[in-house]
Structure 1
Amino acid sequence: MALKALILDWAGTAVDFGSRAPMGAFVEAFARVGVTISIAEARGPMGLPKRDHIAALMRDEAISARWQTAQGREPTEDDIDHVLAIFEPLNVEVIAQHADLIPGLLDVIAEARRRGMKIGSTTGYTRPIMERLMPLAAAAGYRPDNVVCAGDLAAGRPSPLMMYRTFADLGVWPASACVKLDDTEPGIAEGLAAGTWTVGLALSGNAAGLSKAELDGLAPDERAALRARATDKLARAGAHFVIDSVADLLPVLDAIEARLAAGLRP
């Protein structure tokens, strides 16, 4: 069985090294309702649909306590919608500053297509955010065959529904002939739920959270320690393979095809 599709996440996987665009927007959105959150706290639920992400932050014990201090009550469903309405345009506003392609992406995509694979994508971003990001990526040469956004379906990550839509859009099956590439635990869970091979990204996305320049500035032992922590997190989430970034993917595709040839499945 040959691989039929490569399905990528967006921020931290295909674009935006370090997955930095949403972070300031989350911090600012909460600040506008009187609640302080840190970048580290904002990163915690990354990979979830953005409404679910905000809900998860509000359930966090420390953030919930700050909310109650600021608002005099526990957060409600309406509060989730209110913060999302603040967050979304903030994210759209900064997206152009974080739209650079991850180094190596285009070479990997070109080789995957040469092998006959289709290129799918799912994202925790909403459709309005992606409507700003997609043309920027296309201008840089990245045009996946489909884009499924948070909010397009009844449920997003970690459910498999966005993956199912991608299979249907691309006309590919079985799931075991597809590979999901993602930098977050919910993104890995999405691939596992759908029955695909999953590959985690330790250094280009949320698991590390550093820009390319910041990562390149680390001492070798610091970089190794960061890689080890991120790799452990993604492996614990169930990733079949963990690599530094999309640039390292081609040997993994070879390894997966060898497993398929041996009769193995995800």
Structure 2
Amino acid sequence: MPHPQIEAVIFDVAGTLLPCDAHRTTSTSLLPEAAELLSHLSANQQRIGLLTQQPLQLPSALDHYPCLSTEQTRRGAPAPDLPVLAAIALESHALRQCVLVSGSDAGIAAGLNAGMWTVGTALSGSLEHATMADWQAMPAAERDQLRMQATITLLNAGAHYVIDAVDELAHCLTDIAQRLHKGERA
């Protein structure tokens, strides 16, 4: 019997691949870490799906990934509907072999409710009330405080892992793959 592996990585776009405040701006550029990660995942034949909790203008770099929005479901996060529909669109066989990456506690709850592994992004997800420019202008102590609050929020939501941003995701995916190989479930 083959060992289970990660079937799909699903991103809650705002707060992971785009800044958290993407729905309030006209900028449609990916976070600097996102383009490299998506290229790496694609090169490794990883299925990638996108979720949007709010209407967003997605950058053209995301055009070839399946994207679902809350407009396609009757219930938004923390209901599992959107992550489950994304997994189905990616032809996943087992939700427990899917990973949801989100910068919000509601997104993490939706992934958990769907039975998926979850990874929270503390920095890109925590900046909903601040722009990236505001973040970079903050004193280090204030940034650390914001990072800690976001990490605690995501851990309290039940995230299996919390990272600063998606450039740290590869380590989580490796660990999840090892845990799946051992027979662990989300």
TM-score (norm: length of structure 1): 0.64
Find the aligned partners of 1:152 and 1:7 in 2 and give their Cα distance. Answer: 16
1:2 equivalent to 2:5? Answer yes
Any idea what the Cα deviations from partners look like across 1:74-105, whole Å, max 9, x if unmatched?
A: xxxxxxxxxxxxxxxxxxxx54x232211110
Contact 1:8 1:121 in 2 (8 A): yes
AA partner of residue 99 (structure 1): T
The structural deviation recorded for 1:204 is 0.7
Amino acid at match of 2:6: L
Q: 1:121 aligns with which of 40, 43, 50?
A: 50
Aligned counterparts of 1:4 and 1:144: Cα–Cα separation in 2: 18
1:169 maps to which residue? 89
For residue 123 of structure 1, what is the amino acid of its counterpart? T
Instruction: Give deviations 1:123-167, integer Å, cap 9, x for gaps.
Output: 211xxx34xx13xx11xx223521111121222211111122112
Gaps of 5+ in 1: 23-93
Tell me the CA shift for residue 194 of structure 1.
0.7
More helix by share: 1
Q: Distance in 2 between matches of 1:207 and 1:195?
A: 27
Match of 1:63 in 2: none
Aligned to 1:152: 72
**Is 1:239 the equivalent of 2:168?**
no
> Quick check: 1:108–1:246 contact (8 Å CA) kept in 2?
yes
Is the Cα contact below 8 Å between 1:8 and 1:122 reproduced in 2? yes
Which of 81, 88, 98 is equivalent to 1:178? 98
Matches of 1:190 and 1:169, distance apart in 2? 17
In structure 2, do the counterparts of structure 1 residues 14 and 214 end up closer, same or farther at CA, with 3 Å as the change threshold? same
Shift of 1:21: 4.3
Shift of the alpha carbon at 1:250? 1.0
Question: Could you tell me which amino acid in structure 1 is paired with residue 53 of structure 2?
Answer: G
CA distance in 1, matches of 2:177, 2:43: 15
For the pair 1:101 / 2:102, whether they are aligned, the reply is no
Q: TM-score, normalised by structure 2?
A: 0.89
Q: 2:131 aligns to what?
A: 211
What is the letter of the counterpart of residue 20 of structure 1? D
The residue type paired with residue 221 of structure 1 is A
Greater C-alpha Rg: 1
Evaluate the alpha carbon distance shift between residue 144 and residue 158 of structure 1 in structure 2; reply closer, same or farther with a 3 A threshold.
farther
**Distance across 1 between alignment mates of 2:169 and 2:130:** 20
How far 1:208 moved relative to its partner? 5.9
Residue pair 1:119, 1:146 contacting (<8 A) in 2 also: yes
Cα distance in 2 for partners of 1:206, 1:144 equals 27
1:1-266 → structure 2 map (5 Å cutoff): 1-15=4-18, 17=19, 19-22=20-23, 95=25, 97-125=26-54, 129-130=55-56, 133-134=57-58, 137-138=59-60, 141-143=61-63, 145-206=65-126, 209-266=129-186
The percent of aligned pairs where both chains have the same amino acid is 31
Q: 1:143 is aligned with what amino acid?
A: D
Contact 2:21–2:127 (CA<8 Å) still a contact in 1? no
Do the aligned partners of 1:184 and 1:207 also contact (CA within 8 Å) in 2? no
Say which SS state the counterpart of residue 107 (structure 1) adopts: helix
Unaligned runs of 5+ in 2: none
Tell me how far apart the structure 2 counterparts of residues 207 and 251 of structure 1 sit (CA, whole Å).
Answer: 23
Q: Which moved more, 1:204-213 or 1:103-112?
A: 204-213
Structure 1's 208 and 225: CA in aligned 2 closer, same or farther, altered over 3 A?
farther
Distance verdict in 2 for CA 1:201–1:209, change over 3 Å: farther
